[in-house]
Structure 1
Amino acid sequence: MKKNISIIGVPMDLGQTRRGVDMGPSAIRYAGIVERLEQIDLEIEDLGDIEIGSRERTSSGDSNLKNLKAVAEASETLASRVDEVVKQGKFPLVLGGDHSIAIGTIAGLAKNYSNMGVIWYDAHGDLNTGETSPSGNIHGMPLAVSLGLGDPALTGIGGIGTKLKPENIVIIGARSLDEGEKVLIKEKGIKVFTMHEIDRMGMTAVMEEAIAYLKDKTDGVHLSLDLDGLDPHDAPGVGTPVMGGISYRESHLAMEMLEEADILTSAEFVEVNPILDERNKTASVAVALMGSLFGEKLL
C-alpha cells in the first residue's frame, strides 16, 4: 500500500433520488478519517470536494437517465483529479456521495492502468444501462459504464471507452440484482460472490479467492466499497439498504486481508447518507474500515 494518500470528496447526490448522500464526505471527515489515518503513520493530503452541478428538472435529451449532464460533468472533473493524484505517485481515496462517482474514479484510474482490476463490495451489481434500469438512476450503472456499456456521455468520460475487462472484476456481497444485471453477469462471466457464497464459504475463503483471482493478472486493483454492502444493522445510513448483508466484523476481516495482500492502488467509499443515519454511525463504520484497510492493528 502506498503511504501517501490524497483524499478527494465528491458530494454527489444526482445519481439517485434520495437526498442527503451529498453530505457523505463531510460526515466521513467529521467521523475523523484524517486523524485516524495520520495515527497509523500515513501522509494525508485532503484535496477537499469537487464541485457538483444542479439537479435537472427533466431528463437529458432522449435519455431516461436522471441528471445525465451534471453527472457526466462531475465525472470528468473527478477523473482528472484522480489522474493527477496517481501521476503524483499518491494513493487516491475517494469519498462519496452516491455510487455514480465510480464512473469518474475508474475513468481517471484507467489513464494509468492498462489491465486494472476492481473489487466491487456492494449489495448491488450496478450493471444496469438505460435499457435495463428500472429507475434511470445512474448510481445503478457505474460498473456497466466502466465496461463500455451505456450512454456515450458516460462511457466516453476520460477519453477511454472501455475502462475495465469483465474478467478483472470481482463483486462481493451481492444480494439484490436486477434481471438485466443477471443476464450481463452470465454473458460476460463476471465473478460474483453473493451472500450465499459468503455464508457457505466464509469471508476468509472468499477474500483469498478474490485476491488470488486478481493479483497476478492486473497492474492495479481498485476497491469500490458501497456501505450498503454491509447489513443495515451495522450501516443504516444508506439510500438502498438490503437486509442480510455482510457483517461489520466480516468487513473488517476483508479490509485486513486486502491490506496484507498489498494489491490495492486506489479506493473509494460511497453511499454514506447522514440524513438516514443514526448519530453518524455509518460514517464511523466507514472510517473504521478504512483504518483496517490501511494497516491499523489492535496489537
Structure 2
Amino acid sequence: MTAPTTVNAAAQALHSHGGQPRAGGTDVVSLARARRTNGPYVDLHRLAELRGVTLRADGSALVGATTTIAEVAADPTLRASYPALAATAGALATPQVRAVATIAGNLLQRNRCVYYRNPAFSCFQSGGDTCPAREGDHQHAAVIDQGPCVAPHPSSMAVALLAYGATVHLADGDPVPVADLYDGADPTRDHQLDPGQLSTGIELPAPTPGETAAHHRATGRSRAEWPLVEVVVRIARSGGVISEAVVAAGAVARSPVRLTEVERELVGSPVTAGPPAAALDSVAGLCSPLPETGYKVELLRATVTEALERAIDQP
C-alpha cells in the first residue's frame, strides 16, 4: 500500500503500480473478504484537497471525492441548494458507514449480487460468461432489464447525482457526466472508468431557481442498508404547472436510470392536482421484471408517487 500526499502522486501510483484507490474502504474491505480483490491499494487519506464542499460564484458546487457521506448529508450548502442529494446521503446505509464512506467510493463501488460476492460462483462480473442470478436467487435484482447481468447498481448517491446532472472530475482525463459513468448493457463492469483512473470530485450545476426536490427509498427489514427501490425527484413550476421534471430511480436496473416517460407526462400538469395518473401508469411500461422481481413494478410506482408528492407539496 502507498499513501501519497498529492493528487498527482496518487494518480502516478495508480498508473505505475496498478491496484485500487482506497479512502473509506467500506467496499474494498468487503471485496477483499470475498476474495474479489487483493490490492495493491493507494491510500487517499492524506489528500486533504480531495475533501470538502466548495460553493462557486455561479451557484454550482464542487464536492471533493473523499468527502464522507455524513459530511454530504450535513453540509448546509448542499442541504439548501441540493436538498435531495443531502437527503439521499442521510438515508444511506448506517451512521457508522456514512461516517467513513466517501461520495466517490459510493459512485464507484461494486454490486452486491450474492453470486458475484461468492468466490464459489463464476459470472460476467468475475470473468465468466453467465449470470447465475437469472436462473437462481434474484428477488433483489433488476426490474428494468438492460442487459446480460441483472445485479442492480448499488450506488444511492449516483441516483441523486444523476438527477442533478452532476459530472465526475478525474485526475487524468476529461470530466465524465454521471449519466455516462454507467452502462447497463455492459455485464462486466459496474462503472466505465478505466483501472487507474482517479476521481477528484463531483461538480453539481447550479440548481433551477425555485425548484423543489425529494428523495424516497423503500427497504426490506433484513436488508435495510440496501434499498429495494429508491427515487429522486426535482420539480420546477411556472404559472401553476410543472415546467420541468427530473425523476431518477435506483436499485431497479444495472445502472441508475432516468424515468423519462414519467418526466414527459409530468411536464405541463397542474401542480395542485398532484402526480398525474398517466405519469404513474407509465412506470409499468418501463419495467421488464424477472420471475422474482415482479413486486418491484408496483413498489417502483409507489416510490415514485411518494417522492413526487413530497416534492410537489413543498412551497
Per the normalisation by structure 1, the TM-score is: 0.25
What is the TM-score normalised by the length of structure 2?
0.24
Computing the radius of gyration from Cα coordinates, the structure with the larger value is: 2
Whose RCO is larger (CA < 8 A, sep 6+)? 1
